[in-house]
Structure 1
Amino acid sequence: MVVSKNQKIDFVVSWVNGQDSKWLEKYNKYSQQDTLDEKDARFRDYYIFKYWFRAVEKFAPWVNHIYLVTDNQIPEWLETNNPKLTVVDHKDIIPEEYLPVFNSSAIELNLANIDGLSEQFVYFNDDMFINKPVTKRDFFSKNGLPKDTAGLNAIQPHYDFDHIHVNNIRIINERYNARKVLKKQFFKFINPVNRELNIYTILLFFWPRFTRFFDLHYPYSLRKSEMQRVLQENKSAYLGTMENRFRSKEDITVWLVRYYSLVEGKFSVRSPRVGKIYDVKKSFKEAINDIDKSQHKLIVINDDPAIDKKRFGEISEKLKETFENKYPQKSSFEKED
């Protein structure tokens, strides 16, 4: 499949405002089921989401359409009449018996159900920002393959969420022979473009099974048909995840779709340095500097559960100030005053 200059590539972004009173009322009704770690950091809103749209309009004007996935929430400033925007409620893509759902793993597994979604799409969490001009080729190759980075990694148990890495990689090891895959896809796993990830891959190259892949928490380039295929082949794991209203140690994630592409070679190699992930507790100054100077095409502003409410407010204000300086003009996705 060849991607023409007019090939449609959509963006999908999920968003939640965990401080919203109506959402909190719904959450509190089921909150006793939320036993996985890092609760606060999963649902907090830094009130910088409008700058996500400003960045897209400035640096990726070629995007075909944007789908905003929410749980009956719409930012008060959002111009929902913009023809390039569709707000997708959870009920539009998730069967009623699983609602309400607060499990991001479950929500993301249903993105292919979005009505009208293009075959090629890029999925963003609301903490993933375009930071300088990007082209279609930053996300998909000329022949339509997702851009991604293949690297081997090891599971290092620490958080509850680490169980999910095991669930994904177990499925891959059940279906694929690691040695045959690495022999066939050698020049995608060992490639100068992969830079420092080559070191980890070489160290783990001769293990008889996959231990883990590098999960670069950047926007995900995905193909709708591939996502549907992977979930159909792993229907019981998909349904098991859907049964979990909150994140669970038994979940699989959208990363499994990536993993299929990696082991089957259905991707085009991209440097891991296309983006940078910042923990706002440990690397806040560096994140602000990257926003100011546009050092990377993609950046991720990761929350940290160790941040208290006071510091959260300070960080939120500084982020808003920094983004406002970079994007002073409203986008067409914002209401007029």
Structure 2
Amino acid sequence: MEVLVKDFPIDFVVTWVDGQDEAWLKKYNQYSQQDVLDVRNARFRDYGIFKYWFRAVEKYAPWVNHIYLVTDDQVPKWLNCNNPKITVIDHKQIVPHEYLPIFNSNAIELNIYKIDGLAEHFVYFNDDMFLNRKVKPIDFFSKRGLPRDTAGLNAIQPRYDFDYIHVNNMKIINTKFNKKDVMKKQFFKFLNIKNLELNIYTILLFFWPKFTRFFDLHYPYSIRKSTMKRVISENQNEYIQTMKDRFRSRHDITIWLVRYYALVTGNFSVRSPRVGKIYDLLTTFGEAKRDLTNGKHKMIVLNDDANISETEFDSIVKDLKNLFEKKLPIKTEFEKED
């Protein structure tokens, strides 16, 4: 029997920033010298396609209970904030005052479970994560309310400063959980026909004494609020360290840690990695356009690339807007009247 929304509500949470907003830029520039890990033009620039995120939600997930938009004192000009299904959440409503203003996405995400009224079951989106065709509640949570996810072992392959963040998360997992015990208890979740090719990586790393890394599928995250609250509570020192970093830092932990807790405790339901696909807008833009057109995957991620020049950026923005307008031309209840 298919899970029904009436059994438990499922909320969507999405974070968004307009890096071209003058008020935001003024605030950013006061602290920009601290930004040593991010490339601002890639992390904060806006492709102007966010309204299609809402159009996709209305068309492909009309069953969603409520949408929470998390921003830094910003609201898209076209957004209908009077819609009872939308609540705009400012950083100051969930982030402790002493850490504001904050530009660290890792730190912001660690606080989303504090949103007043947020349902126990919610799906967290970055603003580059789009629904690409019809989805059902069962795509995100099992009939018993467990987050849907894919468990696979992976190895850290250091190249960027950001890779330190994988180490920080895994250090906590290896401190609190014994890999041998986990793999014994969760054997059929880590080695499962639904995991497809990820089973190969898991087999290769199965007998390694410690967890090296999990496969991070950069899709919308299915999360239970109570689990997230527990993870943050049990790792307060690491949480505080991350909050002290106004910009992303090699010292951070991330929301992925909440996923990892669910994986090692078995509190998730196995889902195929084929449910989504991540595309780099520089190197795989052609594939992304085809997926947007034919809806091959239920969820897609359109990932910015710091190597995209301003000229390329303008061209990609134009192409994306044209594609989305063809795919989702109907204005939704989430948009203001003209």
Aligned to 2:310: 309
Cα distance between partner residues in 2 of 1:255 and 1:334: 31
Aligned to 1:88: 89
Mapping for residues 1-337 of structure 1, pairs under 5 Å: 5-6=5-6, 7-337=8-338
Q: CA deviation at 1:37?
A: 4.1
Cα distance between partner residues in 1 of 2:205 and 2:20: 43
Contact persistence 1:185–1:265 (CA under 8 A): yes
Q: CA deviation at 1:38?
A: 3.5
Between Structure 1 and Structure 2, how many residues are aligned? 336
Give the letter for the 1:190 counterpart. Answer: L
Q: CA deviation at 1:189?
A: 0.2
Q: CA deviation at 1:104?
A: 0.3
Q: CA deviation at 1:4?
A: 5.0
Give the letter for the 2:232 counterpart. Answer: L
Contact persistence 1:155–1:165 (CA under 8 A): yes
Instruction: Give the secondary-structure state (helix, strand or coil) at the position aligned to 1:68.
Output: strand
- Which stretch of the first structure deviates more once superposed, 126-135 or 15-24? 15-24
Cα distance between partner residues in 1 of 2:5 and 2:123: 17
Cα distance between partner residues in 1 of 2:273 and 2:62: 24
Cα distance between partner residues in 2 of 1:277 and 1:54: 20
Instruction: Give the secondary-structure state (helix, strand or coil) at the position aligned to 1:67.
Output: strand
1:205-259 Cα shifts (integer Å, max 9, x gaps): 0000000000100000000011000110001100110001000000000000000
Q: CA deviation at 1:146?
A: 0.1
Q: CA deviation at 1:39?
A: 3.2
Give the letter for the 2:299 counterpart. Answer: L
1:159-194 Cα shifts (integer Å, max 9, x gaps): 111000000000000001101100110000000000
Q: CA deviation at 1:3?
A: 6.3
Gaps of 5+ in 1: none
Cα distance between partner residues in 1 of 2:216 and 2:153: 9
Contact persistence 2:3–2:138 (CA under 8 A): no
Instruction: Give the secondary-structure state (helix, strand or coil) at the position aligned to 2:122.
Output: strand
Q: CA deviation at 1:40?
A: 2.2
Contact persistence 2:5–2:63 (CA under 8 A): no
TM-score after normalising by structure 1? 0.99
Contact persistence 2:38–2:248 (CA under 8 A): no
Contact persistence 1:37–1:160 (CA under 8 A): no
Contact persistence 2:13–2:124 (CA under 8 A): yes
Cα distance between partner residues in 2 of 1:180 and 1:24: 49
1:270-313 Cα shifts (integer Å, max 9, x gaps): 00000000000001111011001001000000000000111101
TM-score after normalising by structure 2? 0.98
Runs of 4+ in 1 over 2 A off after TM superposition: 2-5, 37-40
Contact persistence 1:278–1:302 (CA under 8 A): yes
Instruction: Give the secondary-structure state (helix, strand or coil) at the position aligned to 1:193.
Output: helix
Instruction: Give the secondary-structure state (helix, strand or coil) at the position aligned to 1:74.
Output: coil
